[in-house]
Chain A
Amino acid sequence: MNRLANTCRTTSNGWPAVWAVAVLASVGMLVAGCGSPDAQFKSNRAFIAKSLGEELAGEGSDDASEARAIRQGRIEQLDTVNAALAAMFGQPDDPFVVPDAELGVTDVIDDALLPTAAGAVGRDENGYARGLYRQHCVHCHGVTGDGDGPTAPLLKRYPRDFRMGKFKFKRTPLGAKPTDEDLHKVIYDGVAGTAMPSFKALLAEDEIDAIINYVKYLSIRGEVERKLITELTFLEANEEVDVSKDMLVDTFLADVVAKWQQAEESATPVPAPSGSITDQAAIERGKVLFQGKTANCFSCHGVTGLGDGQLGDYDDWTKDFADWGNILDADEKAEKLEQYIELTGLPPRNIQPRNLRQGVYRGGRRPVDLYWRIRNGIEGTPMPAAGMQQSPGGPGLTEDDIWDLIAYVKHLPYETISRPPEAVVENLRENP
């Protein structure tokens, strides 16, 4: 699988048409409905391997029979985790969320909208679309929302894995969930500079709503799965997993749902800039900040904004399994890499600071989009939140500094890197 995946990457560019045919063929099969087994969600195998890998490999003890017992115990616990997830969330063809009124799950996930996005592609008796997620999203984001659809390895930037519950482009601070409007923007406008297309011409508003809803569903399911797997690491292999309502609904699901409920109110307000952001003085101030140690932009994006500063880092989704940049031992790194590729099919790739001279802004090109990126940082990536002044005049940035930075960043694509001598105006006539 490892070798195949690599071959895939190197040969893929030559064969997009063949590949597309293959995908179309299998989608076609789906539409036809060939009476095959129901679709199933995949387990988060990388996270399981990271959390319990040693014990599942039968290395939980020096004593061989004890190690076997530990392995068996873990497998049974994971079976319980899978059953609990099925109990709480159903399966891809039959998604479900425990409709706990007290918890307000239905504030976050409108279960009436789930069938529009879930299940097989088709139309209902009234001619409304069904299975939109499988039609438009699954080939990159995967049935489980793990960002591991068949197209994923072909992409330079891997599709988002929703299961960690982290989203990059949003108006809310780190740790908070995106608002529906944030998710809407990504689906409606697409993500510039990546394979994520704009769906504005393809989907009606209510259809986009259904997909937003389903993405939240997959994300909540994925986060609850992580919590359950993490819970196992606090248990011995022979202990029973607590699958009571107390634990599953009132603890794990409630934790995740509460975050989504708070998304709207945690949006970062945007103060108006005190001057124009196309003003030359603002651009100049922004440049000084960009290259200075207070804002510190240059350390990753490079002094010239080419994105050539710190290059050895990885995003949180990739680092979830191992901190690739910090594994210094070559053998350990090779072993971990092989495991990771087998588990995910996706070789880890560096995250690169954006080259700001291209004028391509992933999360949107409006000044307000850049404001949120700079002010809040970008979740799941090394991009930190701006260090704001804690007291007037203290170290840190002011709101106006952020607008100046936006002014400079917006100006960067038009700025020359070198400084050619200014054109000499010849044949200057006096008093024309």
Chain B
Amino acid sequence: MTYRQLLSLTIFASLIAASSLAYAGGGSFKGKFVYGGDAPKAEALKITADVAVCGKHGLTDEGLVVGKDGGLANVILFLYLKRGDTVKVDPAYDALKEMPVTMINEKCRFEPHVTLLWTEQKLKVGNKDSVGHNTKVNCLTNDPINPLLPANGELEIKFDKSERLPCQVGCNIHPWMTGWLVIRDNPYFAVTDAEGNFEIKNIPAGDWQFQVWHEKVGYVSDVKIGGRDTEWSRGRVDVSVKEGGVVDLGSVTVPAKEFED
């Protein structure tokens, strides 16, 4: 079981626990992203440092990960808010505040590849490898960090400000290592799993826009839904949430050409 599975399980469990205590309202938003083309072969990464430790994991480029049935992993969705706008977070999320989010250097990659962080939460950066890593995060708004993490080292970091784009995470010692950190001042975000699925729960009823982003595409704006070309301006998709309702995007295909450089 991977860390992400473990993490999402814990979150899920805590959500259930929380929802039985506190009032949980709003509606859900879900869907599945699909890669519009033949699944590409994952490219092997060039391991240039600490080859003895990092070379044995068969690391591949995680910029484009296509799973079973063409499911597109690592598509990031987050609630789009204009400057100054806020959203009332459903109490179902309260329990999350106490749960740090982990971003681990493991097997010379970042686990998870995409980390979702609510500013109420702390980020725990760890190193499970036998080699040292530095974790360099440069964001648009928050101060940069670049701690050196010794083997089994761990560090808790708090980011105060919401970011309007995912921040790139890197390790200078192992230049192939890339991860993404999404920092938002609300927990209405998701990243698609290995099958391309996502679900965001307890969104307050109302008309919202979610921004859709992928590291190889940027804003995901040209997609096909039900075979029809659909344009999401700057990756923004309108989502009208009803109390107790589920907005299901269905299957959204991102054409292969969007991933070309």
Contact = CB atoms under 8 A, between A and B. Distances in A.
Given A175-B142, A175-B144, A396-B153, 19 more contacts: A236-B233, A293-B150, A294-B151, A296-B132, A296-B150, A299-B131, A299-B132, A312-B48, A323-B170, A326-B178, A379-B144, A382-B173, A385-B147, A385-B148, A387-B153, A390-B156, A395-B151, A395-B153, A395-B154
A384 B148 contact: yes
Given A293-B131, A299-B49, A299-B132, A310 B145 contact: no
Interface in B138-167: 138, 140, 142-156, 164
B97 interface: no
B164 A234 contact: yes
A312 B175 contact: yes
Contacts, number: 101
Nearest to B233: A236
A105 B43 CA distance: 51
A316 B136 CA distance: 11
B69 interface: no
Contacts of B136: 382, 384
A327 B107 CA distance: 22
Q: Which 5 A-B pairs have the closest CB atoms?
A: A175-B143, A296-B132, A382-B172, A384-B134, A294-B150
A236 B234 contact: yes
Interface string A307-321: 001101100100000
Interface string A247-275: 00001000000000000000000000000
Interface in B84-135: 130-132, 134-135
Contacts of B134: 296, 382, 384
Nearest to A385: B147
Interface string A376-402: 010100111111001000111100000
Given A326-B178, A387-B153, A300 B146 contact: no
Contacts of B156: 390
Given A236-B234, A296-B132, A390-B155, A384 B172 contact: yes
A337 interface: no
19 contacts: A174-B144, A175-B143, A234-B164, A236-B234, A293-B132, A294-B151, A296-B148, A313-B175, A328-B43, A382-B172, A384-B148, A387-B148, A387-B149, A387-B150, A387-B155, A390-B153, A390-B155, A390-B156, A396-B153
Interface of B: 43, 46, 48-50, 83, 130-132, 134-136, 138, 140, 142-156, 164, 170, 172-173, 175-176, 178, 233-234, 261
Given A293-B151, A390-B154, A300 B234 contact: no
Contact of B150 (A295, A300, A329, A382): A295
B44 to A, nearest CB: 11
A257 to B, nearest CB: 15
Contacts of A377: 146-148
Interface string A339-382: 00000000000000000000000000000000000000101001
Contacts of B146: 174, 377, 382-385
Contact of A326 (B154, B164, B173, B175): B175
A396 B150 contact: yes
A300 B171 CA distance: 12
B172 A300 contact: yes
Contact of A386 (B50, B148, B152): B148
Contacts of A309: 49
Contact of B176 (A175, A326, A385): A326
Contacts of A383: 146
Contacts of A387: 132, 147-150, 153, 155
